[in-house]
Amino acid sequence: MPKIPPPKGTRDLYPLEAARRRWLSERWRRVAIRHGFEEVDGPTFETTDLYAVKSGEGILGELFQAYSGKDPRDIERIRGGEAAPFAMRPEFTPSLARMYAERARTLPSPCKWFQIGPFFRAERPQRGRLREFLQWNVDVLGLEGGFTTEGTENTEAKARMDAELIACCAGFLKEVGLSSDDVKIHVNDRMMLEEVMRESGVPDVQFDPILAHLDRIGKIPKERWEEEAKALGCPVSLIAWISGEVTAPSTMEQRHESMTHAATTSFRSMDMLRSTLFPLLSDHGLDDDWVFQDVRIVRGLAYYTGTVFEVIADGERAVAGGGRYDNLIELFGGPATPAVGFAMGDVGISLLLQDKGLMPSDTELMEEIGARPDVFVISTYEDLDPLATRLLAMLRREGLHARRSYRATRNEKKLLGEASRPPHNARVAIILDSPTQVTVKDLDAAIQQTVDQTVDIGPGFDDLLTLLAQHHAPRP
RNA sequence: GUGGCCGUAGCUCAGUUGGUUAGAGCACCUGGUUGUGGUCCAGGAAGUCGCGGGUUCGAAUCCCGUCGGUCACCCCA
């Protein structure tokens, strides 16, 4: 049989890699739950139309398309250049919007949901970017105490939800040991940019193209970026401002100053972030060292309507991003609902944690995901093997994670070595070297006790369990 | 999807200007040894040199294609 390699941009996860990914997703889940989010999930493939609803072209080309093969008309349509009826999900937001819209009336407000699962994009793979990856999605839908979409009084309520969301994201970063030296949360507000444009007389229809272009700063030569920005009708003052930030980022106060002089409306919007969101973030324990305004952050997606943010490591790599999308739920047939969310992929964050040496050791990893063996049973004589098997069965019935060796050797030293090293790293070894004697050895503490009792009858086994409990490291 | 670089054992890599049966370390398996846990010794298994074609008396080595990885573009939900 010819070798069939895994598809491009996918991964085979061997035990250690699977353990690492499990560890990460457990941390995601733990942090989200701690912050009061509920777990949801949807299908891993959706009707293609679901993804056409919002931003069209950009996404459609990155879809892995799918069809059942049962309906010949599907194949005809695909041959005719149409999209297949289904698509592997490239993101969660459309599914989330649909789910929320479906039950909006009975859901709490705000509705705090998170999701963890695989996503698929038919892009060309690169380091930190695969075609199948795990993603953590966290969203706050609606505002506290009900809401209306219009009115500036909601501005503060929205900011409170923005802050909660960002706090959850930061909570994870802190949870895995990242410091504000490692990562920064760059925050911006699209409204502010739009107001600058509006004041300069830029027509509304140009907003999205200009914002999309602003997002490209730093990715193409500066001069070309400026020229193209001008061509799109972007105000010269805005170009100069953002462009200037690249070479010489200013402090909050300096920006505040310059905005004060630049325009009154812009000032109001600018001041909003400064006076509303950032104090709230500070209440959540996020000060200037963690979070700051960065006018360069725009986010490519057209559906963002207000706050946008990215978690950027070492000033380059973005490991998470999100923002406010107040129009999307309505677009999916739900009641007009302000919402804010972010996503983090497993690939980028894992690379970062590896680089920073923050990925736990193999033993810690197994410990944390509950895969570290409690007991490793060793029998040094063939005659004792049946006893060892009975002992394993009894231990497992007690709910203990018990393993044995499958080696041919009876060399006690080698078997102990095996028990205490990867991939086992057992906590305790039980050594059977006599039918009436059992030795319990704590492999972490390097202490052992020998008991003169057979273990496969009641009293002896109870004593053994007591002994094990004494040597047992508390479970996580 | 477009272009540059890379591709030798599970992993990290050696392989001289193309020249016999392709090597090492780690890991794996077996046996021994050191008083029961990362020592030491001996042995073993493991590679169609990514795959396919071409040049040549002869290709891991040169050429083309292809697959995969990586970097840039694109995109970043």
Assess whether pLDDT exceeds 80 at residue A474. no
Domain boundary among A314, A330, A362: A362
**A160 found inside a domain:** yes
Nucleic strand B near CB of residue A407 (< 7 Å): yes
Structure tokens at A184: 């920064």
- Which pLDDT score, from 0 to 100, does residue A476 have? 38
**A98 found inside a domain:** no
- Which pLDDT score, from 0 to 100, does residue A54 have? 65
Q: What is the CATH number of the domain that holds A230?
A: 3.30.930.10
Same domain as A223, residue A74: no
Q: Higher confidence at residue A449 or residue A14?
A: A14
Distance A125 CA to B12 C1' (A): 24
| pLDDT tens digits, one per residue of A84-118 | 899 999 999 999 999 999 999 999 989 999 999 99
Assess whether pLDDT exceeds 80 at residue A458. no
Cα gap A476→A330, rounded to integer Å? 43
Same domain as A225, residue A154: yes
Domain that holds residue A387: 373-471
- Which pLDDT score, from 0 to 100, does residue A472 have? 62
Distance A200 CA to B27 C1' (A): 66
Distance A416 CA to B40 C1' (A): 18
Same domain as A346, residue A391: no
- Which pLDDT score, from 0 to 100, does residue A295 have? 77
- Which pLDDT score, from 0 to 100, does residue A404 have? 92
Nucleic strand B near CB of residue A443 (< 7 Å): yes
Assess whether pLDDT exceeds 80 at residue A267. no
Same domain as A27, residue A55: no
Structure tokens at A450: 């020998």
- Which pLDDT score, from 0 to 100, does residue A79 have? 81
Cα gap A89→A382, rounded to integer Å? 54
- Which pLDDT score, from 0 to 100, does residue A160 have? 93
Same domain as A151, residue A66: no
Of A277-291, A403-417, A421-435, A443-457, least confident by mean pLDDT is A443-457
Same domain as A383, residue A290: no
Same domain as A163, residue A146: yes
Taking all residues of chain A, what is their mean pLDDT, rounded to a whole number?
83
| pLDDT tens digits, one per residue of A335-389 | 989 999 999 999 999 988 888 888 888 888 888 888 889 999 999 888 888 888 9
Smallest CA–C1' separation from A341: which nucleotide?
B77
Assess whether pLDDT exceeds 70 at residue A263. no
Range 408-427, chain A: CB under 7 Å to any strand B atom: 408-409, 411-414, 416-417, 420-422
**A97 found inside a domain:** no
Domain boundary among A311, A335, A362: A362
Assess whether pLDDT exceeds 80 at residue A465. no
Using left for φ > 0, alpha for ψ between -120 and 50, and beta otherwise, residue A77 falls in: alpha
**Which bases of strand B sit closer than 7 A to a protein CB?**
1-3, 28-39, 48, 67-77
Same domain as A119, residue A84: no
- Which pLDDT score, from 0 to 100, does residue A255 have? 56
**A95 found inside a domain:** no
Same domain as A254, residue A230: yes
Range 126-145, chain A: CB under 7 Å to any strand B atom: 126-129
Smallest CA–C1' separation from A450: which nucleotide?
B36
What's the structural domain count of chain A?
3
**A94 found inside a domain:** no
Contacts 24+ apart (CB under 8 A), A212-215: A212/A298, A212/A300, A212/A302, A214/A242, A214/A296, A214/A298, A215/A298, A215/A299, A215/A300
**A368 found inside a domain:** no
Distance A413 CA to B67 C1' (A): 47
Same domain as A267, residue A349: yes
pLDDT band at A58 (very low <50, low <70, confident <90, very high): low
Same domain as A427, residue A337: no
Q: What is the CATH number of the domain that holds A461?
A: 3.40.50.800
- Which pLDDT score, from 0 to 100, does residue A286 have? 94
Nucleic strand B near CB of residue A58 (< 7 Å): yes
Same domain as A348, residue A285: yes
Query: Amino acid identity of A465?
Result: L
Assess whether pLDDT exceeds 80 at residue A300. no
**A426 found inside a domain:** yes
**A244 found inside a domain:** yes
**Residue A125: Cβ-neighbour burial (10 angstroms; 0-12, 13-18, 19+):** middle
Nucleic strand B near CB of residue A343 (< 7 Å): yes
Assess whether pLDDT exceeds 60 at residue A136. yes
